[in-house]
Structure 1
Amino acid sequence: MTTEAAPDGNASPPLPAETQSAIEVLEVELSLLWRRARATSHSLSRSVHPDLEPAAYGLLSVLLKQGGMRLTELARCIGVGKPSVSRQISFLESVGLVRKEADPRDGRAQLIELTPQGLAKMREVHDGRQRAFHSLLAHWDPKDLTTLAELIARLNDDAAR
């Protein structure tokens, strides 16, 4: 058994060998999944626009799912600083995928929204991604899919803390 550092930097009790081994196997599998996800994100971003970076694709995905929002809200949603998001939004605006509109709740602020072109392109890409994902998982048992979704949600919650 080894003593591990907890996320807060404090030492946690030693992990049983079985737990340590399971975590190591999980880390390998998640690393492979994340590499594949990054490659997919890169490919999806290029299908929206040839010069689009994966980070900008993430912004478009948030806007597709949640609708128009202020730059600060958008930055908070993806966990990136305002300057980085601002650069990406400037690019997205220059290629006609997003626009800035006055916020009806506060005329001094701006909402960032998908343009009709951006909305159409993102729906097309999103629908294709959904079809591919359904095809990939169609043979899985629904109970296994539900369990996996619950476990990933739990992992995401823990990671958010």
Structure 2
Amino acid sequence: MPITLGRYSLDVQTTPDGRRDLELALGEQLNALLSAGRALSERSAAHFHPGLQPAAFHIARWLYAFGPATPSAVAEAVGMDRSSTSTLIGRMRSLGLLESTPAPGDRRSVIVGLTEKGRGRVAATLEERGREFHARTEDWSDDDLARLTELLARLTGSGRGSAGRR
């Protein structure tokens, strides 16, 4: 069965070499996916606020999804060190995108959350991302979307019962 993926044109066979070629083609497509994802994240961050580093959008997106939290919880959740997170949170507060309130039960700590302006910017940015994603998949069948979702869940191990499956 011949298939073409990127620069690979393969005649898929049930041989070790055919399997290796498929795995190389898969690796190339995963690299392309990661590159496209990074580029989309950069554009999304600029859409969110052109004066902020892209990591600020990750913080804002997390707060949009999960709600107010301590800066240390945000840093851990988005995989950033606390000092970088604190710097970005301060900058976002100065731009009116975040607000902070004293943490209940611990007046030395604060809880940060999105302001109405911040929520609006995140929502608009996610809407823009959605339009771009839709443009890339609008001619796909529901079956194609479902199958890709299933396969990606298996690949990432996020599908239920997928760990260790071959």
* Residue 28 (structure 1) aligned with residue 28 (structure 2): yes
What is the alpha-carbon distance in structure 2 between the residues aligned to residue 19 and residue 75 of structure 1? 41
What is the alpha-carbon distance in structure 1 between the residues aligned to residue 98 and residue 36 of structure 2? 27
**Alignment gaps of 5+ in structure 2:** 1-15
Could you say which residue in structure 2 is the equivalent of 1:71? 71
What is the alpha-carbon distance in structure 1 between the residues aligned to residue 55 and residue 72 of structure 2? 16
Pick closer, same or farther for the CA change 1:22–1:38 going to 2, 3 Å: same
Could you say which residue in structure 2 is the equivalent of 1:110? 110
Give the SS at the match of 2:157.
helix
Q: Deviations over 1:27-71 (max 9, x none)?
A: 211211222221221111112222222211111111111111222
What is the alpha-carbon distance in structure 1 between the residues aligned to residue 124 and residue 56 of structure 2? 17
**Alignment gaps of 5+ in structure 1:** 1-15
Pick closer, same or farther for the CA change 1:87–1:152 going to 2, 3 Å: farther
What is the alpha-carbon distance in structure 2 between the residues aligned to residue 113 and residue 92 of structure 1? 10
Residues matched between the structures, number: 144
Give the SS at the match of 2:35.
helix
Could you say which residue in structure 2 is the equivalent of 1:81? 81
Pick closer, same or farther for the CA change 1:20–1:101 going to 2, 3 Å: farther
What is the alpha-carbon distance in structure 2 between the residues aligned to residue 154 and residue 101 of structure 1? 41
TM-score with structure 2 length normalisation? 0.75
What is the alpha-carbon distance in structure 2 between the residues aligned to residue 47 and residue 88 of structure 1? 17
TM-score with structure 1 length normalisation? 0.77
Pick closer, same or farther for the CA change 1:140–1:73 going to 2, 3 Å: same
* Residue 135 (structure 1) aligned with residue 105 (structure 2): no
Pick closer, same or farther for the CA change 1:135–1:151 going to 2, 3 Å: same
Amino acid at match of 2:67: G
2:40/2:129 contact within 8 Å kept: no
What is the alpha-carbon distance in structure 1 between the residues aligned to residue 19 and residue 76 of structure 2? 34
Amino acid at match of 2:126: H
Query: How far apart are residue 125 of structure 1 and its match?
Result: 1.3
- Which one has a bigger Cα radius of gyration? 2
Percent identity, please: 29
Q: CA RMSD in A?
A: 2.2
